[in-house]
Amino acid sequence: MSDEITDRHAETAAEVLPEQRGLYVDGEFVDAADGGTFETTDPTTGETLAEVPAGRAEDVDAAVAAASAAADGEWGATGASERQQLLHEIADRIEERKTEFLKLEALDNGKPTREAYGDVSAVIDHFRYFAAATRLNEGTTLPADDGPRHVSTVHEPYGVVGAVVPWNFPLLITSWKVAPALAAGNAVVLKPAEQTPLTALKLANVVDDVLPDGALNVVTGFGEAAGAPLTAHDDVAKVSFTGSTAVGREVMKTAADRIADVTLELGGKGPLVVHEDADLDAAVRAAVLAIFYNTGETCTAGSRLFVHDAVAEEFLDRLVETAEGLAIGDPLARDTRMGPKVSTAQAERTLDYVEQARAAGGNVLVGGGRPDDTPSDAFVEPTVIEGLSHDSAPVQEEIFGPVLTVFRWDDYDEMIDLANDVDYGLAAGVMTESASQAYTTAGDLEVGTVWVNQYQDFPAGMPFGGYGQSGIGRETAFETVREFTRTKSIDVSIR
């Protein structure tokens, strides 16, 4: 079976890898200045997928210079209607190659193709949404109090945006940053995660003849060597970063040194609250999506389950049965529900948290190890743990894997206190048949997004972002365009 999977992945890679895999700078695919490269690995098989340039500060300098020239030149002079057409053209091109993109995402990241299909569909939708938003970036006219005056506002692009994207949703989060930044008129330097650079490079291949040179640049490489110089660059006026809270703090510090603006989408430790009147079938489906979707590698994961005592036994029985039945294996197989984590190192990190939970007295209801008969060590079983103290590390810290911790409750106020008793505030879920209870609980949860009777839905136009240490700013909505602009007031005295 392992040889069969390895052969299938090698054949698929030959079909979908981007033709040119250099740094994409000023409309050209080039080597890193020092000639450095690194390998990106298929987590399912452990085999090398491709070798790509290891960009460093010198390469970032070249990309930022190209972006600056584009912002001051042809791209900066491109009007809203033309930007709208270009973003639609990008969406069309991705759609034409949808199967290639989703297979490449499955190879590079390990996500099942059924999930990658949803990601790429959302990428197309977000480019089209922000294409429309280019024509809506309007200013205002303010009433003047004295004399013949005209006071108005306009929203101008920053110029150069540095965008840093994580490995869990490589192409989707790229669209969340690149599409609105371009819609607002900025030029972009994109730094994809070193674990998953291939769909960003394929995007550059696909849109190479769409945008003016320098409007979009892609620098592959490692965080300290390429990401840090980008976020600290004096000519990058706006930074949009998605990643860990620890790295986000450093990005914010370097931006503060030069008074640059930032959007940060960071960690999460979301609660899923199941009330006693919940539809248990729907609640189990939501819980599975909340924690096992994308192998738990989502900042929005509902990794803390608060289930009412009255329904806890039945709910947990159903959840455990469902978790045991999830098909784990080759992400290219149509029936696979969970693929590997992005790397063996990430799998080991997840399993270390499971061992911490066991040591702290946690009762593993299902999972807790590596599944049998998988082609690499990057796989982790869907895991549900009960009996932990809420202040223990596996509960408080972001595991970023398919590990759910369970708490039973009967006192609403105590439950809400625990649900909010983490540093993060990105997303949460509420399961109830009562509209009143749904809105009450949603209002009591200190998070940026609350899903009711569902989970992990990200329609274009719905603002996404967090409270607390989950970040600053909002993505995926019209206000994101405003995140990539500066407001200028114009006060004219008419004589």
Measuring CA to CA, which residue among 181, 457, 477, 128 is closest to residue 298?
457
HSE-CB at 249 with a 13 A cutoff on CA atoms is 5
Contact, 158 vs 261, CB < 8 A? yes
Would you give the end-to-end CA distance of the chain in angstroms? 83
Measuring CA to CA, which residue among 141, 445, 145 is closest to residue 302?
445
Measuring CA to CA, which residue among 115, 111, 116, 86 is closest to residue 98?
116
Contacts of residue 337, Cβ cutoff 8 Å, sequence gap at least 6: 112, 114, 292, 326, 327, 328
CA distance 339 to 44: 7
CA distance 171 to 476: 14
Contacts of residue 174, Cβ cutoff 8 Å, sequence gap at least 6: 123, 163, 165, 190, 192, 199, 200, 203
Active site residue 265: yes
Structure tokens at 244: 């860990």
Map residue 386 onto helix, strand or coil: strand
Among 299, 381, 475, 483, the active-site one is 299
Sheet holding 449-452, edge to edge: 363-366, 383-386, 403-409, 304-308, 271-274, 427-431, 449-452
Q: What letter does residue 388 receive in the DSSP assignment?
A: -
SS3 for 211-239, per residue? CCCCCEEECCCCHHHHHHHHHCCCCCCEE
Among 100, 115, 250, 265, the active-site one is 265
User: Bridge-partner residues for 386, per DSSP?
Assistant: 363, 406
**For the chain, what's the residue count?**
495
Active site residue 51: no
Contact, 130 vs 180, CB < 8 A? yes
**CA distances (Å), origin 334, targets 32, 53, 317, 329, 371:** 38, 33, 27, 10, 19
Measuring CA to CA, which residue among 183, 169, 177, 171 is closest to residue 231?
177
Q: Which residues are catalytic?
A: 265, 299
